[in-house]
């Protein structure tokens, strides 16, 4: 995706409008077409020069971030993006302790109230069913709502960032990409699932490798099938089998694996994690065998039992590099949803 140096400011507005997101929620990436997502990514690239400066596209607009679960990257990058666009931010990181929701105010009521203050809301919540039913009930009685992660099924802004990173790093169309989503627990891999859903929408081939007892939620499999996506599923592979799978891939995505220390299934889970553990030698072996430099992506935060930290300074690392893309991508997202004059 190459952007001409002769583009004028009007072209940015054209790309933002063509993304067709103005006034809409962002919940699942398959809600938008391949063409619409492509326009969003073009807008993000046009905004890259402003990611450490300011372009007042959203002056006098207000972003409200409402997070029921902890966050660093998702919340902060949206807030920084809004500041870069000349807008303002209100943030609530402990609604159950410091808002009326501590007094049993419903999510529906809370969002209706917030919508009287804000032009756009970024929401993170642990119960996807509650959020989705609330959104349906709200209809047009709320400001546009961006999912900052709902339950275990959707994290679309992370998915968009992963997609944009793939485009910028691989420098080839999604139709030519083969992407692995690797984790022993695909049932709770919301970032990886959103990346897969969006990349599949754009034409990439998706390869799942996980545990047979912790599969991708059926709602997401149904979405992939309904769009005619190209994907395959593998279960209970050994470490060597997972490495062999990587010899045919462009990217390996690790959506994170975690289990509470007191969980009675922890010992069994850790055995499964070992089959997905990534060594630097694995990637060097693949490069020597196939010539491929397989990019490694992770939504972060990571755990020591997922991959060798020596990858951090290798040519395969993308999980820190992509942080630099997060601001222009979310600037484009906010500007598309709020609309610019």
**Same domain as 94, residue 19:** yes
Question: The domain containing residue 261 runs over which residues?
Answer: 158-323
Q: Are residues 73 and 137 in the same domain?
A: yes
On whether residue 196 sits in a domain, the answer given is yes
Instruction: Please identify which residue in the block is written with the tokens 């083969």.
Output: 178
Q: Is 2 a domain residue? A: no
Q: Is 4 domain-assigned?
A: no
Pair 171, 293 in one domain:
yes
Q: Encode pLDDT of 58-85 as tens digits.
A: 999 999 999 999 999 999 999 999 999 9
Whole-number pLDDT of residue 94: 84
**Contact predicate 93/79, CB 8 Å:** no
Indicate whether 77 and 162 sit together in one domain.
no
C-alpha distance across the termini of the chain, in Å: 26
Q: Are residues 62 and 195 in the same domain?
A: no
Q: For residue 167, give the nearest of 274, 321, 6 by alpha carbon.
A: 321
CA distance 341 to 330: 18
- Residue 113 domain-assigned? yes
Task: Assess if residue 3 is contained within a domain.
Answer: no
pLDDT of residue 304: 87
Residue 318 and residue 171 share a domain: yes
Q: Note whether 81 and 130 are same-domain residues.
A: yes
| Top-confidence residue, 256 or 55 | 55
Neighbours of 278 (CB within 10 A): 22
φ and ψ at residue 153, rounded to 5 degrees: -105, -25
Pairing of strands 205-210, 230-235: parallel
The full length of the chain comes to: 341
SS3 call for 132:
helix
pLDDT digits (tens, 9 = 90+) for 296-333: 999 999 988 899 999 999 999 999 999 999 999 999 99
Percent of the chain beyond pLDDT 90? 86
Residue 101 binned pLDDT confidence (cut-offs 50, 70, 90):
confident
Residues 330 and 289 in one domain: no
Report the C-alpha gap between 337 and 147 in whole angstroms.
13
Do 59 and 31 lie in a common domain?
yes
How many structural domains compose the chain? 2
Q: Per the domain annotation, does 1 fall within a domain?
A: no
Q: Can you list the pairs that 171-176 forms with residues at least 24 positions away whose Cβ atoms lie under 8 Å?
A: 171/1, 173/202, 173/203, 174/199, 174/202, 174/203, 174/204, 175/202, 175/203, 175/204
- Nearest partner of 329 among 121, 88, 159, 143, judged by Cα: 159
Residue 281, judged by CB atoms within 10 A of its CB (0-12, 13-18, 19+), counts as exposed
Query: Which of 274, 297, 272, 296 lies closest to 283 in space, CA to CA?
Result: 296
Please give the pLDDT value at position 4: 42
Is 197 found in the same domain as 144? Answer: no
Could you give the CA distance from residue 224 to residue 201 in angstroms, rounded to a whole number? 8
Residues 216 and 91 both lie in one domain: no
Identify the pLDDT of residue 141.
96
80 belongs to a structural domain: yes
CATH code for the domain of 290: 3.40.50.1370
The per-residue pLDDT for range 227-282, each reduced to its tens digit, is 999 999 999 999 999 999 999 999 999 997 766 666 667 778 888 899 999 999 99
Q: What is residue 6's predicted lDDT score, i.e. its pLDDT?
A: 44
Residue 79 lies in a domain: yes
> Are residues 110 and 182 located together in one domain of the fold?
no
């Amino acid at each position: 995706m190459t952007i001409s140096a002769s583009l004028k400011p009007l072209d940015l507005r054209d790309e933002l409008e063509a993304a067709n997101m103005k006034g809409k929620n962002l919940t699942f990436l398959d809600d938008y077409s391949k063409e619409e997502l492509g326009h969003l990514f073009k807008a993000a690239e046009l905004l890259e020069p402003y990611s450490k400066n300011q372009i007042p596209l959203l002056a006098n607009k207000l972003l409200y971030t409402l997070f029921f679960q902890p966050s660093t990257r998702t919340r902060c990058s949206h807030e920084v993006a809004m500041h870069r666009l000349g807008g303002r931010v209100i943030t609530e990181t402990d609604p159950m302790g410091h808002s009326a929701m501590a007094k049993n105010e419903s999510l529906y009521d809370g969002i209706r109230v917030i919508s009287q203050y804000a032009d756009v809301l970024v929401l993170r919540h642990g119960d996807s069913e509650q959020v989705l039913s609330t959104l349906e009930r709200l209809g047009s009685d709320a400001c546009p709502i961006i999912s900052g992660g709902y339950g275990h099924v959707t994290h679309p802004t992370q998915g968009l960032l992963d997609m944009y990173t793939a485009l910028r790093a691989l420098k080839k169309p999604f139709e030519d990409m083969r992407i692995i989503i690797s984790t022993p627990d695909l049932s709770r891999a919301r970032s990886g699932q959103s990346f897969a859903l969006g990349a599949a929408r754009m034409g990439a081939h998706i390869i799942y490798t996980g545990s047979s007892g912790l599969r991708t939620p059926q709602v997401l499999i149904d979405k992939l099938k309904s769009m005619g996506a190209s994907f395959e599923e593998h279960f209970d592979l050994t470490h060597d089998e997972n490495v062999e799978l990587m010899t045919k891939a462009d990217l390996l995505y690790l959506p994170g694996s975690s289990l509470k220390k007191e969980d009675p299934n922890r010992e069994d889970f850790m055995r499964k994690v070992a089959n997905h553990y990534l060594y630097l030698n694995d990637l060097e072996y693949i490069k020597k065998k196939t010539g491929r430099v397989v990019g490694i992506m992770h939504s972060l935060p990571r755990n020591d039992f997922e991959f060798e930290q020596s990858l951090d300074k290798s040519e395969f690392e993308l999980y820190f590099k992509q942080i630099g893309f997060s601001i222009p991508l979310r600037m484009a997202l906010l500007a598309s949803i709020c609309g610019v004059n």
